Amino acid sequence: MKAYFSKTIEEVMKEFNVSKGGISESQVKSHREKYGYNELAEVKKKSVFRVFLDQFKDLLVIILLIAAIVSMTTGSTESTIVIFAVIVLNAILGTVQHVKAEQSLNSLKALSSPIAKVIRDNQKHEILSKDVVPGDILVLEAGDYVPADGRIIENYSLQVNESSLTGESESVIKTSETILKDEVALGDQKNMVFSGSLVTYGRALVIVTNTGMNTEIGKIASLIETTKEKKTPLQVSLDNFGKKLATIILIISVIIFLLNMYRGVNILDSLMFAVALAVAAIPEALSSIVTIVLAIGTQKMAHENAIVKQLKAVESLGCVSIICSDKTGTLTQNKMKVRKIYTDDKIFNFDEFDLNNKIQNFLMNSSILCNDSSVENGTEIGDPTEVALVNLGKNYSLDELDIRKSYPRISEIPFDSDRKLMSTSHEVDGKYIMLTKGALDVLLPRIKYIATSEGISEFTSKDKILIENVNRGFSENGLRVLAFAYKEIKKDHILSLDDENEYTFLGLISMIDPPREESTKAVEDCINAGIKPIMITGDHKITASAIAKQIGILKSGDEALEGTELDKLSDEELKNKVENVSVYARVSPEHKIRIVRAWQEKGKVVAMTGDGVNDAPALKQADIGIAMGITGTEVSKDASSMILADDNFATIVKSVANGRNVYTNIKNSIKFLLSGNTAAILAVIYTSLASLPIPFAPVHLLFINLLTDSLPAIAIGLEKPKNDLLKEKPRNINAPILSKNFLKKILSEGILIAIFTMLAFHIGLKSGSAGVASTMAFSTLCLGRLFHGFNCRGDKSIFKIGVFSNIYSWIAFGIGLVLLNLVLILEPLKNLFEISSLNSTQFGYIYLLAVLPTIIIQVYKIIFKQDSASDSKEISVGENA
Ligand code: ATP
């Protein structure tokens, strides 16, 4: 059988029984049944059981097993049962959390899965790449990933980077010509495109020949690993902290064990002390709480149109100090409308076109012919700049499809944002004409003649000055200006970049693209939050500056810089200048990388938006690369860490607020968990040093750590963003979360709870037995930590934060309270959890001593923390000190 590259287009089309209008839905169905989904087989994921087993590879489990064995030897079978139950419960919780986190990541991934454009039943559709079937007609454009292997049937200067397949980093120029050979290396199959390669230029129609594992990449790729979410910097630093803590605690445990032995305490009791200490200290919930809070944060952001692709991004978002944003569509509405026109020495309104005037008529037709967009039954398809031109024609009852049928396109050089031009060629009244539209400053140096009502004349410097003045006038009003020019070419000449010169100037068409309503407020929020918003645009400097002024990005004293000016600056000079520049105009994607680097060298955390095929390197270089969900290319989405589903600048600012909130919440959860653990550690150390009985059995601490503490920690993680979140400077990304100041707070709050816990222990010892004392210490610690959950909701007093503003914290408190009381009251549970019976006075003491630390902390906050001081502010002060 002949290979597809050596078959004619007709042969391939016939084989799949398809026309250029695409296959029908019923064909899609039958092809899907025959060939399956367009997916590469993945390595099987870990089974839930495997995940469950993995939970036992934990230091905590080893310590617990020691505790279980010690309990068994001391004849305490109930304790042994409870400890084993706790080990299993811990593993189940770990498994559930793992599976949940995976599900939430998968659902986020699904939101950002790749899209393919196909023609089916004569209509263009956007579908998931995995739904592409052999026989589909694919539409490929610059910035797309090729979703399947296929034969090119219509080619418009297509260039494809096939490095993932051939290793060749240069783009390959494609053709639709049949290759009359039997065997051709993959890299030379110029009329084929292959799955996984990237369209860098031009466009094409392609008939899909192979999908999924039958594609070239499928044949060579071994099974792909499902991408594993790497740990975020926060998780890594907490893991490291956990490891250090474990080592220190093990050493202290051994010392305590030896000390007790030395003092003549029997070996089992000494061991129990040491084990209790270890159990008290290991913050087993820490890492999972961070994952849960991050995962919940990303879900919330997804609802608010920001799809975070990496958990890491949520953390960095809170530190963003520079937001570099595209103008068109992100700060503006991308709903262009033609306003003023200039041709033949006249400026007139969009509704004053005179189609009987030869030049005006030609300009109008050019704007429709050198144009890929269309408006069908009110549905706008294509680039809004071009749609505006089609709509202009509609005002005069001109149908773009009719005009394009009368003057068919012979060849084209597609628009690209580096070149800022687009050219097409047509046969017009027996002549062959090349039409070009684009940025005036790019087109102007290529103009040789000018069309006027008196005929074609030489383009003089006077003409040039006049046109530049008109352009300035349009731009100062925030209008986006397109220049039009043409020239005659030879019959059937296929256009190339060398043709883009020696033009005859035709005219200017300007259009308005109003700022988004929410942009001004978002820019203001940004500035208040210590974040510098910067506009980076391909548009003209004067237009960009006018819009930037309107929305508050360009303030007096700020500068606007053009790409050509930027080219003249060395990296060092740019670095010195960068703080004063708020607008970069006429930039190409390479400039974006330099701007990001300059800021990063100043130690700033930079978020950068991008949508084009060449934006990928800048998106990767930025700390947070942000792609546009609506107008962005697949490549830019792939390279970014976040996708804006609504392309809106305001959404970025909202995400920064969310990022800050998630970080603050995680920090508060950590404070809650670690201060509670500190209290337990201090109590064990104190009793051991003071030769008192052991205050907690390991089951007590497990009960607190695994049951009553987890819910308040999660509830703290769900705390809503506070109003003043965007009134503070961004957090320093290098500042450790566990700063000295933060650890001091944890220690002081831990000491406070420990003091009252030990008071309860002493009261228990006085009024009853060692068992009663232990029960009172456990209950006070447990309840004290539950109350402490309210303190950890924020830095200010609970009355300032809002007593009932986080309902989850009340639910968590309620559940903890019920669980504790069940254990204290129900006989079977009392046995299991080594609880002694308490009288009502002892109950009263527990409640009083448990609530006192919280009252003290709240009074302290009311006195000292009523102003805008908040956690993050304080920490940065502490860290700088
Ligand atoms: P941003 O980078 O903010 O999205 P932009 O959309 O204005 O800005 P580009 O799309 O790169 O940036 O456009 C740069 C310039 O190229 C425009 O100012 C305009 O003069 C010209 N231009 C834009 N679209 C087209 C097009 N479809 N055909 C020809 N020229 C165009």
Distance of alpha carbon 77 from alpha carbon 542, whole angstroms:
82
410 and 503 together in one domain: yes
Cα–ligand 1 centroid distance for 589 (angstroms): 12
pLDDT, one tens digit per residue, over 783-797 is 999 999 999 999 889
Nearest CA to ligand 1 atom 19: 439
- The closest alpha carbon to 733, from 355, 370, 237, 394, belongs to 237
| For the CA of 327, the nearest atom of ligand 1 | 3
Three-state secondary structure readout of 637-680: HHHCCEEECCCCHHHHHHHHHHHHHHHHHHHHHHHHHHHHHHHH
Is 297 contained in some domain?
no
Confidence band of 259 (pLDDT split at 50, 70, 90): confident
For the ranges 707-711, 727-731, 822-826, the lowest mean pLDDT is seen at 707-711
Please give the structure tokens belonging to residue 506: 């035709």
Q: Is 493 exposed, middle or buried (0-12, 13-18, 19+ CB in 10 A)?
A: middle
Which residue from 203, 338, 373, 417 has its CB within 8 A of the most atoms of ligand 1, so it is best to mutate?
417
Do 368 and 477 lie in one domain? The reply is: yes
Nearest CA to ligand 1 atom 16: 420
447 membership: H or E segment, kind and range: strand 447-452
Which of 512, 542, 577 lies at the terminal end of a domain, its last residue? 512
Helix, strand or coil, per DSSP, at residue 259: helix
> Whose structure tokens read 């708020």?
582
Residue nearest to atom 9 of ligand 1 (CA): 538
At which of 463, 487, 512 does a domain end? 512
Task: Give the pLDDT confidence score for residue 423 in this predicted structure.
Answer: 96
Report the nearest-CA residue for atom 6 of ligand 1: 328
Calculate how far, in angstroms, residue 241's C-alpha sits from the geometric centre of ligand 1: 50
Range scoring the smallest mean pLDDT among 167-171, 283-287, 310-314? 283-287
Residue 254 lies in a domain: no
16, 112: one domain: yes
Q: How many CA atoms lie within 13 A of 546 on its CB side?
A: 16
Close Cβ partners of 621 (under 8 Å, ≥ 6 residues apart): 593, 596, 597, 600, 608
Alpha carbons 770 and 772: distance in angstroms, whole number: 6
Ligand 1 contact via 326 beta carbon (within 6 Å) = yes
For atom 29 of ligand 1, the residue with the nearest CA is 438
Q: Is the CB of 480 under 6 A from ligand 1?
A: yes
Rounded-to-integer distance, Cα 618 and Cα 602, Å: 17
Close Cβ partners of 664 (under 8 Å, ≥ 6 residues apart): 318, 719, 725, 794, 870, 871, 872
Q: What is the 3-state secondary structure (H, E, C) of 533-563?
A: EEEECCCCHHHHHHHHHHHCCCCCCCEEEEH
Tokens 């290793």 appear where? Answer: 167
Tell me: do 582 and 690 sit in the same domain: no
- Cα separation, 114 vs 106, in Å, equals 14
Query: Residue 541 C-alpha to ligand 1 middle, in angstroms?
Result: 12
Residues 493 and 623 in one domain: no
User: pLDDT value at position 231?
Assistant: 67
For residue 15 the two structure tokens come to 């084989």
Query: Minimum mean pLDDT among 575-584, 713-722, 758-767: which range?
Result: 713-722
Tell how far the Cα of 332 is from the centroid of ligand 1, in angstroms. Answer: 13
| Contact criterion met (CB below 8 Å) for 751 and 678 | yes
| Spatial contact of 443 and 423, defined as CB atoms under 8 Å apart | no
Q: How is 773-803 classified by DSSP, letter by letter?
A: HHHHHHHHHHHHHHHHHHHTT-SS-HHHH-T
Mean pLDDT confidence for 579-599: 92
Task: Tell whether 744 is covered by a domain.
Answer: yes
Tell whether 502 and 523 lie within a shared domain. Answer: no
Measured at the CA of 552, the angle between CA 611 and CA 654, to 5 degrees, comes to: 55
- 638-648 pLDDT per residue, tens: 889 899 999 99
Ligand 1 site, residue 385, Cβ cutoff 6 A: yes
CATH number of residue 106's parent domain? 2.70.150.10
Separation between Cα atoms, residue 87 and residue 284, nearest integer Å: 12
Q: Is 326 a catalytic residue?
A: yes
Between residues 685 and 734, the one the model is more confident about: 685
Q: Cα angle at 649 between 648 and 654, to 5 degrees?
A: 100
% of the chain surpassing 70 pLDDT: 95
For residues 789 and 753, what is the distance between their CA atoms, to the nearest angstrom? 12
Which residue has the least CA distance to atom 12 on ligand 1? 538
| C-alpha dist (Å) from residue 376 to 137, 388, 398, 399, 555 | 21, 13, 13, 10, 42
Distance 219 CA to ligand 1 centre (A): 40
Please give the residue range of the domain that contains residue 314: 306-332+516-647
CA-CA distance, 335 to 854, in Å (whole number)? 55
CATH code for the domain in which residue 453 is found: 3.40.1110.10
Q: Considering the candidates 149, 326, 647, 709, report the single residue annotated as catalytic.
A: 326
Q: Is residue 3 a part of any domain in this protein?
A: yes
Is the pLDDT assigned to residue 712 strictly greater than 80? Answer: yes
**CA-439 nearest atom, ligand 1:** 20
Rounded to an integer, the average pLDDT of 687-712 is 83
Q: Is residue 263 part of a domain?
A: no
Same domain for 458 and 585?
no
Same domain for 607 and 708, yes or no, is: no
Judge if 685 and 597 occupy the same domain. no
Contact predicate 94/55, CB 8 Å: yes
417 lines ligand 1 (CB under 6 A): yes
Residue 652 lies in a domain: no
Establish whether residue 415 lines the binding site of ligand 1, counting it when its CB lies within 6 angstroms of any ligand atom: yes
CA 417 to centroid of ligand 1, rounded, Å: 6
Helix spans in 690-726 (H): 698-702, 710-717
pLDDT in tens, 515-537: 999 999 999 999 999 999 999 99
What pLDDT digit, counting tens, does each position of 174-208 carry? Answer: 998 998 888 888 888 999 999 888 888 888 999 99
Domain boundary among 624, 647, 670: 647
In a domain, residue 643? The reply is yes
Between residues 738 and 501, which one has the greater pLDDT? 501
**Model confidence pLDDT, tens digit, residues 411-468:** 999 888 888 999 999 998 889 999 999 999 999 999 999 999 889 999 999 999 999 9
User: Are 20 and 135 contacting, i.e. CB atoms less than 8 angstroms apart?
Assistant: no
Ligand 1 contact via 538 beta carbon (within 6 Å): yes
Residue 658 · residue 651 · CB < 8 Å: no
pLDDT in tens, 100-146: 767 776 776 666 678 899 999 988 888 999 999 999 999 998 888 89
Q: Which of 335, 419, 519, 537 to mutate to test the pocket of ligand 1 (most atoms within 8 A of CB)?
A: 537
Query: Predicted confidence band at 218 (pLDDT cuts at 50, 70, 90)?
Result: confident
Task: State whether the beta carbon of 578 lies less than 6 angstroms from ligand 1.
Answer: no
44 pLDDT band, cuts 50/70/90, is low
Among protein residues, the one with the nearest Cα to ligand 1's atom 30 is 438
Write the residue with the smallest CA distance to atom 20 of ligand 1: 439
Report the nearest atom of ligand 1 relative to the CA of 386.
27
DSSP string for residues in 44-82? PPPPHHHHHHHTTSSHHHHHHHHHHHHHHHTT-HHHHHH
Domain for residue 242, yes or no?
no
Measured in whole angstroms, how far is the alpha carbon of residue 464 from the centre of its chain?
46
Buried b (16+ CB within 10 A) or exposed e, 260-290: beeeebeeeebbbbbbbbbbbbbbbbbbbbb
Q: How many angstroms does the Cα of residue 538 sit away from the middle of ligand 1?
A: 6
Distance 558 CA to ligand 1 centre (A): 24
Mean pLDDT of the region 371-378? 87
- For atom 1 of ligand 1, the residue with the nearest CA is 537
Ligand 1 centroid to Cα of residue 858, in Å, is 57
Which pLDDT value is given to residue 229?
A: 52
Closest CA relative to residue 623, chosen from 739, 536, 520, 732: 732
Q: Is 482 in the pocket of ligand 1 (CB under 6 A)?
A: yes
Report whether 153 contacts 208 (CB < 8 A): no
Domain identity same for 498 and 538: no
Does the Cβ of 327 fall within 6 Å of ligand 1? yes
Give phi and psi for 134, each to the nearest 5: -55, 140
Nearest CA to ligand 1 atom 18: 539
Q: What three-state secondary structure class fits 409? A: strand
User: What global pTM score does this model have?
Assistant: 0.80
CA distance 788 to 810: 12
Q: CA–CA distance from 664 to each of 130, 657, 711, 725 (Å)?
A: 39, 11, 17, 10
Give per-residue pLDDT as tens, 379-415: 888 889 999 999 999 999 999 999 999 999 999 998 8
Residue 832 has pLDDT above 70, yes or no: yes
Q: Which numbered atom of ligand 1 lies nearest the CA of 417?
A: 11
Distance 481 CA to ligand 1 centre (A): 9
CB 584 within 8 A of CB 563: yes
855 versus 69: the higher-pLDDT residue is 855
- Range of lowest pLDDT (215-229, 543-557, 787-801): 215-229
User: For the ranges 63-77, 299-313, 688-702, which has the lowest average pLDDT?
Assistant: 63-77
Would you say the CB of residue 439 lies under 6 angstroms from ligand 1?
yes
Looking at the CA of residue 540, tell me the nearest atom of ligand 1.
18
> Residue written as tokens 């009932």?
804
What average pLDDT score do residues 306-330 get?
89
pLDDT-derived band at 867 (thresholds 50, 70, 90) equals low
Q: Residue 202: what pLDDT?
A: 85
pLDDT at 252 over 60: yes
Average pLDDT, the chain: 87
Quote the DSSP letter at residue 275: H
Structure tokens of 109? 């991934």
Hey, which of 372, 373, 383, 385 would you mutate to test ligand 1's pocket, going by the most ligand atoms within 8 Å of its Cβ? 385
Identify whether residues 526 and 485 lie together within a single domain.
no
User: Cβ(437) to ligand 1 under 6 A?
Assistant: yes
What's the CA-to-centroid distance between 542 and ligand 1, angstroms?
A: 14
Residues 625 and 745 in one domain: no
| Angstrom distances, CA of residue 132 to CA of 39, 191, 211, 246, 335 | 9, 20, 7, 52, 31
**Residue with CA nearest ligand 1 atom 25:** 438
Burial class of residue 558 in the structure, from the number of CB atoms within 10 Å of its CB (0-12 exposed, 13-18 middle, 19+ buried): middle
Q: At what angle do helices 710-717 and 770-791 cross, to 10 degrees?
A: 10
CATH number at residue 804: 1.20.1110.10
What is the total count of domains within the chain? 4
* Cβ(589) – ligand 1 distance below 6 Å: no
Task: Return the residue whose CA atom lies nearest to atom 4 of ligand 1.
Answer: 328
CA of 540 to the centre of ligand 1 (A): 9
